[in-house]
Amino acid sequence: MPDSPRTMLVLAHTGKDNALRSARLVLERLIGAGLAVRVLETEAPDLACAGATVVPPGPEAAKGAELVIVLGGDGTLLRAAEIARPARTPLIGVNLGHIGFLAEAEPDGLAQTVDRLVAGSRNG
């Protein structure tokens, strides 16, 4: 049986221009690397990413995903945690808010962070 494609769920604070720009960059890099990418149907019109699979918000959105990538502030990260938790899917937050207590990554070097996620997960 062939391996199923690696899948990532990308969530963003669509009310912030910097989050939209960053999410589009992440989506392009993930899809370009051959990964399957999901976005929530509530965010899809703003993200405008033709290569992503649109899924309804809720715990099923993260089911079977390798990782949830969150772009926004702590509120966006908490919203993503509610989606990821039932599926037991890990998440990484990119701080695009004011404080970012919960985020693990900063927007500087975002492309390199995504590339490391893609390469690191593929290699073990």
> Buried b / exposed e across 88-108, counting CB within 10 Å, b at 16+?
ebebbbbbbbeebebbebebe
- Catalytic choice (3, 46, 74, 115): 74
Structural contact between residues 18 and 107, judged by C-beta atoms closer than 8 angstroms? yes
Question: How many other CB atoms are there within 10 angstroms of residue 7's CB atom?
Answer: 18
Pairing of strands 7-12, 36-40: parallel
Does residue 108 have an active-site annotation? no
- φ/ψ of 40, rounded to 5, equals -75, 145
Active site residues: 74
